[in-house]
Structure 1
Amino acid sequence: MSKKAESYLTISAPAEGLYKEKGSKFLAFAYPVTSEDDIKDRLDELRKKYYDARHHCYAYVLGADREVYRANDDGEPNHSAGDPILGQINSKQLTNTLVVVVRYFGGTKLGVSGLINAYKVSTEEALNNVQVKKIDITRTINLRYSYDTTNEVMRLINDFEVKITDQVFEADCQLTGEIKIGMTDQLEEKVTLLIDTGHEVSLEYSDD
């Protein structure tokens, strides 16, 4: 079983690129996206804005594990457009990323190898202009503990960089927060140690 990703790379804002060859223009647009609805909206926008273009070819990758992806040639010869676009997204190990290349035909056919190069280079130009950011994958934790254990729990929160989203201080306290997925095993060990030393504390994950 392959190890689940603990973080992923995506882009923080849209970016553009341009490539010209024998009169044809290839306008590349890179977008951060999180769903297929986002992708559809971006494609619709570009098709309206560049309604007179011959092709709107694209590729995208979605999900932390980069398991959802698609390449579309939009009428170009099979694998001459979508695959080169997807290849450039993959070469930078990006996800939650869409690249659309709008082609205006210049009257001279480029051949399959020429098209592959044009879609590759135009995509590369757009992706060279993006800001890449690393996103840590988190899990939601729920801690329940006695008021007397507050100091020990707060130490864990600091040590494991837990982002608190909700907190209740009573005789029986509760805390909800986000922790980086790569730190969960260590947190469980520390909670077990607290329990073994007589502290009242329990740990659950809201996504189990």
Structure 2
Amino acid sequence: MNTNDSAATSYTTLRVDAVHEIEIKRSRFITYLYRVQTEAEARAHIAALRKTHFDARHHCSAFILGPDRMTQRSNDDGEPSGTAGLPMLEALAKRDTGSGTDLSDILAVTVRYFGGIKLGAGGLVRAYSDSVSQALAHASLCTVQRLRIFELSADHGWAARWENELRSAGYQLGDTHWGDAHAVLSIGINDEPAATEELHTFIATLTSGAGLLRAGHTTWLDS
């Protein structure tokens, strides 16, 4: 799926990868969190951890991908069915990010070193869920916003002033292209109807109706 075609225009993900460990009845649960965008990338991290923790009994995993969270996978890796991967996935899917957006583009891998005491099905569910939840509580998150890029042509004599006015109003500007006849300003806004309408109104006032905005591509940006 093309992420620019998604219904969601923002989501939450990891700012940086993280790791957190808890111990329950002498079993160690080490949870790694990675920011990923494809299944191949997620599976590469899982494979790498299998090599790093080759002496661990289990390497359970869960991941969610895409702004609309269309791809969701989990793996119990030898634990009783439904006691590891699914609780981990639910911990990711139900996480309150505090920003009103859902958590995505994230992989959790919990490496378990068995401590000799069996936890039972209920104990395993709680252990794997808590391991991921605690790792998320210690992780740094960020919101990813889809931006629509607009171009605005300007005479050389007006371009610098318009740039300053746009920056002062809080708009994100890309590189300005200076051509022989005129300059082209690049303006990024949240890809939402209200933000588009607001920009058109601002440009109409700034340029006394002479400025013509041209909608371009979209991109995703951390905020």
Using structure 1 for the length normalisation, give the TM-score.
0.81
Number of the residue aligned with 1:14: 17
TM-superposed CA distance for 1:152, in Å, is 7.3
TM-superposed CA distance for 1:117, in Å, is 0.6
Number of the residue aligned with 2:200: 188
Is 1:85–1:119's contact at 8 Å kept on the other side of the alignment? yes
Structure 1: tracts of 5 or more residues without a match: none
Q: Which of 206, 211, 214 is equivalent to 1:203?
A: 214
Number of the residue aligned with 1:176: 186
1:47 partnered with 2:50: yes
CA distance in 1, matches of 2:214, 2:168: 16
Q: Which amino acid aligns with 1:99?
A: A
| Deviation per residue, 1:107-150 (Å, 9 max, x gap) | 34322211101101111221122112223321222223444653
TM-superposed CA distance for 1:194, in Å, is 7.1
Number of the residue aligned with 2:30: 27
CA distance in 2, matches of 1:66, 1:181: 19
Is 1:10–1:133's contact at 8 Å kept on the other side of the alignment? yes
Is 1:145–1:202's contact at 8 Å kept on the other side of the alignment? no
Q: Percent identity?
A: 32
RMSD across aligned positions (CA): 2.7
Is 1:145–1:201's contact at 8 Å kept on the other side of the alignment? no
Please show how residues 1-208 of structure 1 align to structure 2 within 5 Å. 4-90=7-93, 91-92=95-96, 93-147=102-156, 150=159, 153-154=162-163, 155-156=165-166, 158-182=168-192, 183-191=195-203, 199-207=210-218
Number of the residue aligned with 2:3: none
Q: Which amino acid aligns with 1:105?
A: F
Between stretches 80-89 and 22-31, larger displacement belongs to 22-31
Is 2:203–2:211's contact at 8 Å kept on the other side of the alignment? no
Is 1:144–1:172's contact at 8 Å kept on the other side of the alignment? yes
CA distance in 2, matches of 1:160, 1:31: 32
Structure 2: tracts of 5 or more residues without a match: 1-5, 97-101, 219-223
SS across alignment from 2:175 = strand
Using structure 2 for the length normalisation, give the TM-score.
0.76
CA distance in 2, matches of 1:4, 1:43: 29
CA distance in 1, matches of 2:33, 2:44: 13
CA distance in 1, matches of 2:206, 2:18: 49
